[in-house]
């Protein structure tokens, strides 16, 4: 991939090159729309990731990431969602609370010292976006949990701030920014940018197989194959008699 370090000033120039009557929008409006595009794209793709290490607490099975890790000054955590967890560099198997409740009743109280369970934590699962659990809990504590997680997208505050991204993604960013800015004009100009929004969402779907498989996403993109397999039936009028036939 051809990655580029594009600054906010460079991308803003591309934005104003895209839209007509650029004096209608301020630079602040263009910058806000760009940062929104970056955040929405990261929400769908999970592009920006980070790695950090926590120390296990004795007999604790549930960990709250924001209370344990602060990757940004001012007490703001950058972590959005854990993706992988390793115990002392050994990868742990992912699971869910539903599976644990059905397969191991009382698992929350089990530690590595309990009978009939592994001697080291080997399973983890998410609880919402910024909490996770491990099983069994580390009985002694003071061991390492290596977390790979999706982190917050960068916010471009100054003109020299940049994002390091595949150059092929930039056109879809510009499509989304164009769509957002046209909301200020409304009416037909805004309506005409709906295909640009679709292009942006399609670029997200190309990078996220789980999202692409979701029915709500396919329906929004007009690609619900199950709907095509069940064609709508409409009335056909013939000599005053109404019959139902396939469309």
Instruction: Decide: 162 and 6 in contact? Cβ < 8 Å.
Output: yes
Burial 150-179 (b: 16+ CB within 10 A, else e): bbbbbebeeeeebbebeeebbebbbbbbbb
Query: pLDDT under 70 in the chain at which residues?
Result: 1-4, 21, 69-77, 209-247
**In this predicted structure, what is the pLDDT of residue 242?**
44
**Quick check: helix, strand or coil at residue 227?**
helix
Instruction: Decide: 207 and 200 in contact? Cβ < 8 Å.
Output: no
β-pair partners for 130: none
**In this predicted structure, what is the pLDDT of residue 244?**
44
**In this predicted structure, what is the pLDDT of residue 75?**
64
Task: Calculate Rg over the CA atoms of the chain.
Answer: 25
Predicted model pTM: 0.72
Question: What is the distance between the alpha carbons of residues 48 and 162, in angstroms, rounded to a whole number?
Answer: 13
**In this predicted structure, what is the pLDDT of residue 239?**
43
């Amino acid at each position: 991939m051809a990655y580029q370090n594009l600054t906010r000033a460079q991308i803003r120039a591309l934005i104003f090159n895209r839209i007509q009557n650029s004096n209608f929008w301020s630079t602040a409006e263009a910058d806000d729309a760009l940062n929104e595009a970056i955040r929405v794209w990261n929400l769908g793709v999970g592009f920006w990731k980070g790695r950090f290490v926590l120390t296990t607490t004795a007999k604790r099975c549930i960990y709250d990431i924001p209370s344990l890790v602060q990757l940004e000054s001012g007490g703001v955590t950058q972590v959005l969602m854990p993706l992988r967890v390793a115990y002392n560099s050994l990868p742990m198997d992912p699971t869910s609370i539903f599976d644990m409740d059905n397969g191991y009743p009382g698992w929350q109280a089990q530690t590595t010292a309990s009978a009939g369970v592994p001697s080291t934590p080997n399973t983890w699962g998410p609880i919402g976006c910024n909490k996770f659990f491990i099983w069994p809990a580390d009985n002694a504590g003071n061991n390492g949990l290596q977390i790979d997680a999706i982190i917050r997208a960068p916010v471009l505050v100054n003109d020299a701030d940049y994002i390091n991204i595949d150059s092929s993604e930039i056109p879809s960013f510009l499509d989304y920014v164009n769509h957002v800015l046209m909301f200020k004009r409304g009416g037909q100009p805004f309506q005409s940018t709906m295909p640009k929004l679709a292009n942006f969402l399609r670029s997200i779907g190309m990078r996220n197989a789980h999202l692409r498989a979701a029915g709500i996403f396919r329906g929004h993109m007009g690609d619900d194959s199950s709907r095509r397999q069940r064609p709508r039936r409409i009335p056909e009028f013939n000599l005053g008699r109404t019959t139902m036939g396939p469309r």
